[in-house]
Amino acid sequence: MHPREPLNNALPNSIVAITPDPNAFYCINQFSEKGDMAKGFSLISRVDSLWNHPTPVEIDEYYTITSDVNLTMSFDGQVLILSAVRHDSRDMDLYVCFNKSGNSWSAPQHLGTVINSEKRETTPYLSEDNTTLFFSSNRWESSGGNDIFMSNRLDDTWKNWSRPVRVVPPVNSGADDSQPYFNMTSGYLYFTSTRDGNSDIFRVRIAPPQPTEFTIRGRIFNRKTMDLMPNTIVRYGIANGPKNMITSSDGFFTLKIPKGVAFELTPEKGAFAGLTETVLFRRDYYFFQDYYQIDLWLEPLEVNDKIELQPIYFQQSKAIILEKSHTELERLATILLENPTLEIRIEGHTDNVGQPDDLFRLSEERAMAIRQFLIEKSIGAHRIETVGQGPKFPLTDNSTDELRSQNRRVEIIITKI
């Protein structure tokens, strides 16, 4: 099957990394709605069988001097290993980026001169243990072309690595061997090689099978009525870290999560509060069942409860909503459309930097901007009241920039159900 747009188009298309979300992948290049292309990476995702238009992946200070670029993502979605030519490269070198939030990443940092040589280091693959890195290189230890090497991470800085070791034959040959992918569950290393004249895919078992993930089958219930809840979002990810998202159309979902990592799962649906469950499967345990059954619970919201939203961002010192917050406000509009008797109060809050009158005015104007956004999405104006609280109700003591940022917020309070 050859998918059509937006997954494939007239421009180059290539998947480079699998994300923790089984329905989302990273691909090379960035694509505008007008059909233009720029250097970088994009996220492609699907809901049911429909693919969304690629959205840009933001990497601080990203550039590559040549068109060659490769990338791998850690199993927990927190680290990228990038192969690129940059100003501190000797040739094509390996770099690390750390997740900031969502699809936003820190600037690439050079992995050092132990793992990087004066030759080309390309096509990295980080194993599911988050420690073993496979890559291809034509460094002096190679057999004349590109060979596959492996190295182990020595600490949590991601800058200290063991000296790379060339993987023994039959993996490497006198031809070009590249594109390693190691499946710990089966013990097979998959790779490409030109040993037979063409670039073909091969596999060799290099280790005993080591299952590193476990299947979760989940159900989502209304805690009050005990009914299954269709059309529900489940946010999941490592504890206290960024979250990925899947959609359950029928109240059931299936996920694979890594062993040895605490994962949080939270259901999300309009006019409900989702209760978070934490799951941890120890690496050193053998689990006899094929999957683990988990139930997630949604509590119906009541009057004076808050509808939890991701942060809403505005232009600095203005009441202009930034485009990156439109998706979250559209979700709020959907909640109101699905619950036609629901009425809300939008409360704007600020930190304590500035004149009190200006802060109260700004918080009110920002609440009004959200109200206008919702009205334009066909929400009745009578269902939305606004209030500017200024700096009256801080969440923190405003003693640092980070704490002040927590006080600059918008809260949605239910006034009628």
pLDDT single digits (tens) 25-83: 999 888 877 777 888 999 988 766 678 888 899 999 999 998 889 999 998 788 999 99
Pairing of strands 55-59, 104-105: parallel
> Which pLDDT value is given to residue 324?
84
Quick count: other Cβ atoms within 10 Å of Cβ 49?
A: 6
Choice between 228 and 273, residue whose per-residue pLDDT is larger: 228
Say how far apart CA 207 and CA 214 lie, in whole Å. Answer: 19
Say how far apart CA 172 and CA 153 lie, in whole Å. Answer: 22
Q: Which of 403, 410, 241 is nearest to 311 (CA)?
A: 410
Q: Which two tokens stand for residue 153?
A: 């991470």
- Would you say residue 283 has pLDDT above 80? no
Cis link prior to 108 (omega < 30° from 0)? Answer: no
Say how far apart CA 154 and CA 151 lie, in whole Å. Answer: 9
DSSP states of 172-209: S-SS-EEEEEEETTTTEEEEEE-TTSS-EEEEEE-S--
| DSSP-derived secondary structure letter, 5 | T
- Would you say residue 412 has pLDDT above 90? yes
Q: Which two tokens stand for residue 198?
A: 């063409």
- The percentage of the chain sitting over the pLDDT mark of 90, rounded to a whole number, equals 51
> Which pLDDT value is given to residue 297?
95
Phi then psi for 382, rounded to 5 degrees? -70, -15
Q: How confident is the model at residue 382 (pLDDT cuts 50, 70, 90)?
A: very high
- 340 contacts: CB under 8 Å, gap ≥ 6: none
Q: Which two tokens stand for residue 257?
A: 């999560």
What is the homologous superfamily of the domain 60-205 according to CATH?
TolB, C-terminal domain (2.120.10.30)
> Which pLDDT value is given to residue 10?
64
Q: Which two tokens stand for residue 305?
A: 């409860």
| DSSP-derived secondary structure letter, 153 | B
| DSSP-derived secondary structure letter, 409 | E
- Would you say residue 316 has pLDDT above 70? yes
> Which pLDDT value is given to residue 284?
61
Q: How confident is the model at residue 9 (pLDDT cuts 50, 70, 90)?
A: low
- Would you say residue 89 has pLDDT above 90? yes
Span of 4-8, 104-108, 111-115, 203-207 with lowest mean pLDDT: 4-8
Say how far apart CA 36 and CA 40 lie, in whole Å. Answer: 13
Q: Which of 304, 319, 327, 416 is nearest to 372 (CA)?
A: 319
Q: How confident is the model at residue 406 (pLDDT cuts 50, 70, 90)?
A: confident
> Which pLDDT value is given to residue 301?
82
- Would you say residue 370 has pLDDT above 80? yes
For the chain, the average pLDDT equals 88
Q: How big is the chain by its Cα radius of gyration, in Å? A: 25
> Which pLDDT value is given to residue 280?
87
- Would you say residue 193 has pLDDT above 90? yes
Domain ranges in the chain are: 60-205, 213-300, 306-416
- Would you say residue 288 has pLDDT above 70? no
pTM (global) more than 0.75 = no
Express each pLDDT in 142-188 by its tens digit: 877 899 999 999 998 999 999 999 998 899 998 999 999 998 888 89
Q: Which residues face 275 on adjacent strands? A: none
User: Is the distance from CB of 100 to CB of 106 less than 8 angstroms?
Assistant: yes
Say how far apart CA 122 and CA 138 lie, in whole Å. Answer: 9
Residue pointed to by tokens 């292309």: 37
Express each pLDDT in 107-153 by its tens digit: 999 999 999 999 999 999 998 878 899 999 999 888 778 999 999 99
What is the homologous superfamily of the domain 213-300 according to CATH?
Immunoglobulins (2.60.40.10)
- Would you say residue 236 has pLDDT above 70? yes
Say how far apart CA 409 and CA 386 lie, in whole Å. Answer: 14
- Would you say residue 233 has pLDDT above 80? yes
The dotted CATH code for 306-416 is 3.30.1330.60
Say how far apart CA 233 and CA 244 lie, in whole Å. Answer: 10
Pairing of strands 132-137, 121-126: antiparallel
- Would you say residue 263 has pLDDT above 80? yes
Say how far apart CA 228 and CA 133 lie, in whole Å. Answer: 43
Where does residue 158 fall: left (phi above 0), alpha (psi -120 to 50 degrees), or beta otherwise?
A: left
Express each pLDDT in 328-347 by its tens digit: 898 889 889 888 889 999 99
Q: Which of 138, 140, 129, 23 is nearest to 83 (CA)?
A: 138
